[in-house]
């Protein structure tokens, strides 16, 4: 009897040890999974520290941040980055190393963006005003790089615009191609060569319209911008991405958005630059019509764009609820930007630039670098 009991105790201890060992494995695998997620999260956002571009002389523009090519020859026109409503200069830091490898890069804050409070009660943050200021300030910023050898010493640039920034980029292209361009001062000799637009469709979804309205109401009720920050995270990131972020990281994102923006500026953008009236000449559909009527985009669809052509490519997240894939595909057809297709990046929402930074940069560079350094 005693022998039987000791044998049973021995088996029990062995089974207990096995179960403990298996649970240790499960715990280690879980920890490893979280560690890998955190590692990838950090690498995606800090790879600028690996290929950090040489700093340029301080930008003449208080609303801009610049970078020179890291170590290689400058082969392409300067690239201008225009962010979404709540993006600021520092939002792009982790992209600069890769993007500035063969070109100058300028990160530009539109009217109303950034942490500096707006003290102008008559502030014009409409799309045409945004576009005019952009072209004027680009001409003032780039005094050497990107200039053509023509008599007019024209500045040639590429623009990558995300969401709101994409619509500002379209507006700037429209100023070049229709009668409104006469309102640009003579010194703004800027030609946009290529546009890469992310999260821009023919119109916002029903969800998107409600989300934009909620942003305005939240900013008015809570000028600290923390409520707005939580709301914009929910609206623009995919659920799966948010699920994978630790609570501490979410808090830091909210703190960053709230501290790097200003309430008056955001409200000016939402009230004046968010165009939902399909009769408005600055609605995305009407801007697309104006670009097409210039007779330039069909040339690019055949791969024979002329020197004056504004050519482009569209990119969108698979689960974008603000500018769904269908609306982006419709815009592509309307613009005639057929040759390069639409890049639909998997497993991400509207915030493609942040959720899939490497894939987004690949989309940008593969398009801008296509066919060599065309000027």
pLDDT of residue 177: 77
361 compared with 53, residue with greater pLDDT: 361
Average pLDDT for 38-55: 42
> Rounded distance, CA 92 to CA 107, Å?
7
274 compared with 39, residue with greater pLDDT: 274
Express each pLDDT in 51-105 by its tens digit: 344 444 445 555 666 766 655 677 899 999 999 999 998 889 889 888 988 899 9
User: Looking at the chain, which runs of residues are DSSP E strands?
Assistant: 64-67, 79-82, 105-108, 155-162, 190-198, 311-317, 342-345
**2 has pLDDT over 60:** no
Average pLDDT for 7-27: 61
| DSSP, res 47 | G
pLDDT of residue 115: 86
Task: Please name the helix (run of DSSP H) or strand (run of DSSP E) that holds residue 367, with its range, or none.
Answer: helix 357-368
Express each pLDDT in 175-194 by its tens digit: 987 644 455 554 457 889 99
pLDDT of residue 60: 52
**326 has pLDDT over 80:** yes
Average pLDDT for 120-138: 89
256, burial (CB in 10 Å: exposed 0-12, middle 13-18, buried 19+): middle
**3 has pLDDT over 70:** no
What pLDDT band is residue 274 in, cutting at 50, 70 and 90?
A: very high
pLDDT of residue 371: 78
pLDDT of residue 23: 67
**9 has pLDDT over 60:** no
Average pLDDT for 33-44: 48
pLDDT of residue 19: 62
Express each pLDDT in 346-356 by its tens digit: 999 999 999 99
Among all chains, which residue has been given the structure tokens 């023509």? 150
**322 has pLDDT over 60:** yes
**121 has pLDDT over 90:** no
For the chain, what percent of residues have pLDDT higher than 90?
55
**241 has pLDDT over 70:** yes
> Rounded distance, CA 34 to CA 26, Å?
12
**375 has pLDDT over 60:** no
pLDDT of residue 48: 35
27, burial (CB in 10 Å: exposed 0-12, middle 13-18, buried 19+): exposed
pTM score: 0.80
**360 has pLDDT over 80:** yes
What pLDDT band is residue 297 in, cutting at 50, 70 and 90?
A: very low
pLDDT of residue 46: 39
Lowest mean pLDDT among 2-16, 130-144, 202-216, 265-279: 2-16
What pLDDT band is residue 263 in, cutting at 50, 70 and 90?
A: very high
Nearest to 321, CA basis, from 244, 184, 246, 214:
214
Task: Please name the helix (run of DSSP H) or strand (run of DSSP E) that holds residue 353, with its range, or none.
Answer: helix 352-355
Among all chains, which residue has been given the structure tokens 């987004």? 360
């Amino acid at each position: 009897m005693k022998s039987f009991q000791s044998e049973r105790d021995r088996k029990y201890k062995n089974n207990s040890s096995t179960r403990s060992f298996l649970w240790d494995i499960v715990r280690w695998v879980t920890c490893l999974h979280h560690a890998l997620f955190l590692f990838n999260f950090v690498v995606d956002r800090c790879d600028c520290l690996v290929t950090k571009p040489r700093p340029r002389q301080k930008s003449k523009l208080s609303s801009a941040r610049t970078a020179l090519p890291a170590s290689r020859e400058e082969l392409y026109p300067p690239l201008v980055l225009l962010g979404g409503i709540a993006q600021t200069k520092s939002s792009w830091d982790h992209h600069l190393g890769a993007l500035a490898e063969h070109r100058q890069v300028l990160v530009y804050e539109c009217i109303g963006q950034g942490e500096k409070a707006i003290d102008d009660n008559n502030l014009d943050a409409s799309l045409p005003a945004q576009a005019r200021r952009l072209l004027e300030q680009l001409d003032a910023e780039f005094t050497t790089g990107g200039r053509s050898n023509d008599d007019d010493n024209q500045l040639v640039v590429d623009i990558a615009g995300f969401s709101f920034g994409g619509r500002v980029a379209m507006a700037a292209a429209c100023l070049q191609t229709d009668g409104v361009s006469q309102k640009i001062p003579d010194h703004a000799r800027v030609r946009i060569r290529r546009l890469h637009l992310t999260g821009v469709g023919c119109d916002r979804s029903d969800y998107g319209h409600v989300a934009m309205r909620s942003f305005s109401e939240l900013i008015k009720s809570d000028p600290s911008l923390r409520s707005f920050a939580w709301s914009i995270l929910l609206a623009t990131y995919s659920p799966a991405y948010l699920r994978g972020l630790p609570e501490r990281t979410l808090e830091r994102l909210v703190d960053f958005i709230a501290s790097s923006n200003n309430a008056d500026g955001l409200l000016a953008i939402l009230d004046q630059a968010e165009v939902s009236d399909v009769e408005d000449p600055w609605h995305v559909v009407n801007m697309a019509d104006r670009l097409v009527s210039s007779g330039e985009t069909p040339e690019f669809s055949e791969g024979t764009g002329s020197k004056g052509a504004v050519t482009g490519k569209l990119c969108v997240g698979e689960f974008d609820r603000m500018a769904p894939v269908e609306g982006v595909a419709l815009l592509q057809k309307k613009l005639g930007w057929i040759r390069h297709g639409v890049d639909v990046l998997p497993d991400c929402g509207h915030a493609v630039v942040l959720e899939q930074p490497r894939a987004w940069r690949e989309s940008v560079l593969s398009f801008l670098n296509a066919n060599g350094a065309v000027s």
